[in-house]
Amino acid sequence: MRAHAGVREAAVLARDESTEGGKRLVGYYVAEPGENPDAESLRKHLKERLPEYMLPAALVRLEALPLTANGKLDRKALPAPKDEAYVRAEYEAPRGEVEMALAQIWQQLLDVERVGRRDNFFELGGHSLHSIKLVSRVSERLDARLSVAAIFQRPTVADLADMLSASRGASQADEMEFDEGAL
């Protein structure tokens, strides 16, 4: 974050933010005097330099980083991010049974109020441990196979639902071919 032209100081912290016991990366930053970097431009800057799992789920702009009496970062004094600090795509309601089910699973797993079809699993605070839980819940709720790699390749509700629907269709077609062959 400090490599961004508009950022003077920065800190990233893993915070316990979820009821699932998971942690989310939260980035705190102080702008250079006269600069006004917004969270979106900072996120784009980070996305060009870091893998998805290392991107902070939330970015919080501060006037100054809190310091202890010794001049070190006072991690306990850093504020919890507000809902608007989390990066989200413009809300578009989930469509169809699979998207709605995925959105509900993500809401519970990531402890967020609302998940749209264009929201990104990792931008909402998901990480590799969450993805393992997601695989399990998708298997239980949708009776579908999902790999952790697929979540990294298709991190939005819509893309993941498309992949699951396509694999369900292929699976049903295979079953029909087998049934027809048995006749």
pLDDT digits (tens, 9 = 90+) for 149-168: 999 999 999 999 999 988 76
In three state form, how does the secondary structure of the chain look?
CCCCCCEEEEEEEEEECCCCCCEEEEEEEEECCCCCCCHHHHHHHHHCCCCHHHCCCEEEECCCCCECCCCCECHHHCCCCCHHHECCCCCCCCCHHHHHHHHHHHHHHHCCCCCCCCCECCCCCCCHHHHHHHHHHHHHHHCCCCCHHHHHHCCEHHHHHHHHHHHHHHHHHHHHHHHHHHC
Give the CATH number, domain containing residue 162. 1.10.1200.10
pLDDT, one tens digit per residue, over 63-116 is: 999 999 999 999 999 998 876 666 666 788 999 999 999 999 999 998 888 899
pLDDT of residue 11: 94
Please report, rounded to a whole number, the percentage of residues in the chain having pLDDT higher than 70: 84
24 burial level (CB within 10 Å; 0-12, 13-18, 19+):
buried
**Residue 145: pLDDT above 70?**
yes
pLDDT of residue 169: 57
Last residue of some domain: 50, 85, 120? Answer: 85
Look at residue 176 in the predicted model and tell me its pLDDT.
36
Do 70 and 105 fall within a single domain?
A: no
Ranked by mean pLDDT, the top range of 37-46, 59-68, 83-92, 114-123 is: 59-68
Domain boundary among 65, 85, 105: 85
pLDDT at position 156 = 93
Average pLDDT, the chain: 84
Q: How many domains does the chain fold into? A: 2
Shared domain check, 107 and 174: yes
Kindly state whether residue 90 falls inside one of the protein's structural domains: no
CATH number for 59: 3.30.300.30
The residue with greater pLDDT, 47 or 167, is 47
pLDDT at 183 over 90: no
Whether residue 80 sits in one domain with residue 19: yes
Q: Are residues 78 and 100 in the same domain?
A: no
Domain closes at, from 63, 85, 107 = 85
Whether the pLDDT of residue 58 is over 60: the answer is: yes
pLDDT band at 177 (very low <50, low <70, confident <90, very high): very low
Pairwise CA distance, residues 172 & 178, whole Å: 10
Q: How far apart (Å, rounded) are the C-alpha atoms in residues 30 and 6?
A: 9
pTM of the predicted model as reported, rounded to 2 decimal places: 0.60
Q: Is residue 1 part of a domain?
A: no
Q: Do 1 and 27 meet the contact criterion of CB atoms below 8 Å apart?
A: yes
Domain hosting 117: range is: 96-182
